[in-house]
A = this chain, B = another copy of it.
Amino acid sequence: MFVEAESDPVLPKERFKAHETRLRTALLKAQYDLLGRADRSVLIVVAGIDGAGKGATINLLNEWMDPRHIHTMAFGEPTDEQAQRPPLWRYWSELPENGRIGIVFGSWYQALLREAARKQPNADAIETLATHVRSFEAQLAANGVQLVKLWYHLSPQAQAERTKRLLSSPETSWQVTADDRKVAKKFARLRSAAEVALTHTDVPHAPWTIVPSADEHVRTYTTAEALLQALRRRKLPRVAQPRTPAVGRARTPDALGKLDYAVHVDKDEYDTELALLQGRLARASRSGGFRERSLVLVFEGQDAAGKGGAIRRVTQALDARQFDITPVAAPAPHELARPYLWRFWRRVPSHGRIAIFDRSWYGRVLVERVEGYAAPDAWRRAYGEINDFEQQLADSGAIVLKFWLAVTADVQLERFRERETSPFKNFKITPDDWRNRKKWKPYAEAANEMIARTSTRDAPWHLIPANDKRHARLQVLRHVVEAMEAHI
């Protein structure tokens, strides 16, 4: 795999010059074409042997193209804030807007390369890390992020010579870092780690290019050509869709239809029970154990199902300083210019904090599906993307609970009418609500399929009959309290 790169090929200066003008002009033009595109960004992953001249090459690209539309990101050891979120959080947060080019140093390959470079690499750990990488890249690619992955490589001899040459002059010696000097020792191990990492993650929608780096002209030429080809692709390669669970629409169980909507709780029982549950929640959320965890609550349900009321019964028991409520409406332009989940990744809570979503990322497979805002491809893909997102939250220590508050059509109608006449509530009813009501059946189908496809062990759906508000509120609180107490 590295045979060509380790032969340290050379491109004579004159031959390089013959290409240079063409490449510069073409790259610049391609960059400007990209700028006009609302549906695509480019993300360049820079990795490779230390001291192969990665930084210098990226500087050159910045020089050849318009650097104002290129954003270079460098990630080292995670900061405090990063360490409290899933490992991919920091990459998600900085995704370039459509039309832009991002360059990533210290990418999501760090953990995989580190594991593969151990003296006794663990095959299972490698497989797991590689799966995460593949799944992240598949999601980016499917959402309009074109990946250009560059591995800078050269022979150990060339590496040693380059270091020596740079060190020989005070004008260039600053280009040699402490890491470069150590590279010779770890060359063999890094080489075999790279082989493992690259073969596990070389896929049509996110291919690796190995860049021979001993000669600066070959290095520049290969980098520029790889980027140019990527920029010139008219259509992104189709991403083979991974692991959507096999729930056919015809066989989707009518989970909402089977709920017992007659359940009822008396006022006295409610008052007593509410105080007890809120007390337990108050203690759990203020406990020492919760300082190492976070809580993510998702509220979905029909209009007027009582999401707001249920949320308030939860927040009453919380310290106002520790939670955030995110009301989810239609995305803003700068949110539309990134992969769908970007705006939710930005709201992932740090330790000790609680993020409450009043509607959520499930809009993709509910309103966007039913109203046709998302193409069928996009919302079908979203099930897997969402499961993956929630699994990452759970793996990083978040307790994830999802509630569907379910009312029947007649109770919804009652509440709509009540809202129209109450001074506290008439702001809650809009023409949209009446329009959505007409699509009751497609919404129910979408909800049932969503529940079937996205209820997972670590992020379960709780279906709450909500014709009786008191019952629904107690149920929600009970699930939250029990999950908190079980985890801390």
Which residues of B sit under 8 angstroms from A79, Cβ to Cβ? 79-81
A316 touches B279 (CB 8 A): no
Residue from A275, A316, A321 with most neighbouring chain B CB atoms (10 Å): A321
Contacts of A270-303 to chain B: CB distance below 8 A: 275-276, 279, 282-283, 286
Which residues of B sit under 8 angstroms from A320, Cβ to Cβ? 55, 58-59, 62, 72, 74, 103, 105
Interface digits, A304-329 against B, CB 8 Å rule (1 contact, 0 not)?
Answer: 00001001100110111111110100
A245 near B: Cβ within 8 Å?
no
B324 touches A71 (CB 8 A): yes
B67 touches A283 (CB 8 A): no
Which residues of B sit under 8 angstroms from A72, Cβ to Cβ? 320-321, 323-324
A312 touches B62 (CB 8 A): yes
Which residues of B sit under 8 angstroms from A105, Cβ to Cβ? 320-321
Which residues of B sit under 8 angstroms from A81, Cβ to Cβ? 79-81
**Chain A residues touching B, range:** 35 or more
Interface digits, A395-436 against B, CB 8 Å rule (1 contact, 0 not)?
Answer: 000000000000000000000000000011001000000000
Please, how many angstroms separate the alpha-carbon atoms of A69 and B322 in the complex? 17
Stretch at the interface among A9-17, A24-32, A132-140, A463-471: A24-32
B174 touches A283 (CB 8 A): yes
Which residues of B sit under 8 angstroms from A68, Cβ to Cβ? 308, 325, 327, 358
Closest to A31 in B: B427
Which residues of B sit under 8 angstroms from A67, Cβ to Cβ? 308, 311-312, 315, 325
Please, how many angstroms separate the alpha-carbon atoms of A59 and B69 in the complex? 44
Q: Out of B28, B170, B325, B423, name the residue touching A424 (CB < 8 Å).
A: B28
A371 near B: Cβ within 8 Å?
no
Which residues of B sit under 8 angstroms from A334, Cβ to Cβ? 332-334
A333 CB to closest chain B CB (Å) equals 6
A14 CB to closest chain B CB (Å) equals 20
A254 near B: Cβ within 8 Å?
no
A319 touches B55 (CB 8 A): yes
Please, how many angstroms separate the alpha-carbon atoms of A62 and B74 in the complex? 40
A184 CB to closest chain B CB (Å) equals 22
A35 CB to closest chain B CB (Å) equals 9
Q: Out of B80, B279, B286, B316, name the residue touching A171 (CB < 8 Å).
A: B279
A66 near B: Cβ within 8 Å?
yes
Which residues of B sit under 8 angstroms from A124, Cβ to Cβ? none
Which residues of B sit under 8 angstroms from A275, Cβ to Cβ? 171
Which residues of B sit under 8 angstroms from A29, Cβ to Cβ? 427
A300 CB to closest chain B CB (Å) equals 14
Interface digits, A97-109 against B, CB 8 Å rule (1 contact, 0 not)?
Answer: 0000001011000
Q: List 10 A-B contacts (CB under 8 A).
A: A32-B427, A59-B315, A66-B427, A67-B311, A70-B325, A72-B321, A79-B79, A79-B81, A105-B321, A171-B279
Binding site for B on A (CB under 8 A): 21, 24-25, 28-29, 32, 55, 58-59, 62-63, 66-72, 74, 79-81, 103, 105-106, 170-171, 174-175, 275-276, 279, 282-283, 286, 308, 311-312, 315-316, 318-325, 327, 332-334, 358, 423-424, 427
Top 8 nearest A-B pairs (CB, nearest first) are A68-B327, A74-B321, A58-B320, A174-B282, A25-B423, A55-B320, A171-B279, A105-B321
